[in-house]
Amino acid sequence: MKKVFSWLFVMVVLTGCSSGSQQAIQHFTPSGQNEFHLVVFYKDTPPTEEFQSSINGMKVLLARKNINTTVTYQKIDTGKKDYHELLQVQDRQILVFDYKGIRFNARNIEVLEGMILQVAN
């Protein structure tokens, strides 16, 4: 019985001590295999409507390939979390998460479009 409690204690401690970046990645990671989570990081102001329209176009393209996609526009420094420190992201950087973690990392929309087209074909 002592071994069980000792093992349980060790597991709880290890789970609680996981790195902040790993916790941030898990926060954005979808649970299913045919799911993507596109996270657009911004510093002060959210992306323009034109930028958001391009992201939505990629979401539609992926939906045609039966890949469910969620889009989040995430401020880099929320006060509680500083994603620049946790994930080394910059303004307008886009991370695409799948069930394994970070799948794509793009600093501009054109690069992301190329990556998405490779997946969609």
- Residue spans of the domains in the chain: they are 20-120
Strands 94-98 and 68-75: unpaired
Please tell me the predicted confidence (pLDDT) of residue 3.
53
Question: Could you report the per-residue pLDDT of 102-121, keeping only the tens digit for each?
Answer: 999 999 999 999 988 888 66
Q: How confident is the model at residue 71 (pLDDT cuts 50, 70, 90)?
A: very high
| pLDDT at 25 exceeding the cut of 60 | yes
What local confidence, expressed as pLDDT, does residue 20 receive?
Answer: 77
Token pair, residue 74, equals: 């995430």
Rounded to the nearest 10 degrees, how much is the dihedral formed by the CA atoms of 49, 74, 89, 25? -130
User: Which has the higher per-residue pLDDT, 37 or 9?
Assistant: 37
Residue 13 CA to residue 94 CA, distance in Å, equals 32
Mean pLDDT of the chain: 85
Closest by CA to 112, choosing from 98, 88, 99, 93, is: 93
Intra-chain end-to-end CA distance of the chain, in Å: 55
Confidence of residue 2 (pLDDT cuts 50, 70, 90): low
Q: What mean pLDDT is predicted for residues 86-95?
A: 95
Q: Are 55 and 73 in contact (CB under 8 A)?
A: no
Architecture of domain 20-120: 3-Layer(aba) Sandwich (3.40)
Residue 70 or 14, more confident: 70
